[in-house]
Amino acid sequence: MENISETPSFVTPQGRRIAYHLTDGTGPAVVFLGGFKSDMGGTKAVHLEKWARDSGRAFLRFDYSGHGESSAAFTDGCIGDWFEDACAAIGLLAGKVILVGSSMGGWVSLLVARVMPERVAGLVTIAAAPDFTEDSMWMGFDDAQKVELMAGQVALPSEYGEPYIITRRLIEEGRERLVLRDPLFLPFPVRSLQGTADADVDMSVALRLLDHAESPDMRLTLVDGADHRFSTEPCLDLIATSVEEVLRAADG
């Protein structure tokens, strides 16, 4: 972990300090949006940053508030906060961007695309998890967990470390940000990547998104045996190849 004083940051209109790394290069800039409780130092973000440097492409990675090196506590945040953080981060850039959304970042990228489609030249999602607070968490809770959550919060086990603390605000605010209930028009090339062995986001979510969204050029690639991390060398290469494909399609 880098020393926080050495990491560039900005303050959102809501007063949250967001840490980020920006690689200079040609546009459209590629913006990586990470997953739930992940940070910008993850394998996929760093791999794409190297790809961007090698390609001379502008690239931005950042930590949502409550994540990584940014301010605020994770348990204070919600989907809307992290969406606002992403919008503010994109505001650092000029011109159009290519969004790369991983897991929750896939949901956040869809929210960004919905409110500012004129800024988005293309989208790549990796194990996208739109509406997961409702469809995966809330609907997966038993009665006791729902009672505990409505009293404030509930702890969920995680194979990635400490339990996830899920707050009532996260669930209730998430209902205001759902993207699979209303029309979702994505007027740019979209490439969705999904592993068949993903234990966190079922393949049915990727298929539902493909069926639900309207796009002139949207394709889903299923990778046999890939898990939710999607961080093996072949998977990382596929992410970079997908970004390149979207860039070519956007230019064409």
CATH class of 4-130+178-251: alpha beta
Higher pLDDT, 5 or 189: 189
Q: What is the rounded CA–CA span in Å between residue 76 and residue 91?
A: 23
What digits encode the pLDDT tens for the residues 150-199?
999 999 887 777 888 999 999 999 999 999 999 999 999 999 999 999 99
Most distant CA atoms of the chain, gap in Å? 53
If you average pLDDT over residues 246-252, what whole number do you get? 86
E-assigned strand segments in the chain? 9-11, 17-23, 26-33, 57-62, 97-102, 120-126, 153-158, 161-167, 184-185, 190-195, 213-214, 218-223
CA-derived radius of gyration, the chain = 17
What digits encode the pLDDT tens for the residues 33-47?
999 999 999 999 999
If you average pLDDT over residues 197-221, what whole number do you get? 97
Give the percent of the chain with pLDDT over 70: 98
Q: What is the rounded CA–CA span in Å between residue 120 and residue 249?
A: 13
Question: What pLDDT does 1 receive?
Answer: 35
pTM: 0.95
What digits encode the pLDDT tens for the residues 45-83?
999 999 999 999 999 999 999 999 999 999 999 999 999
Would you place residue 250 in the very low, low, confident or very high pLDDT band (cuts 50, 70, 90)? confident
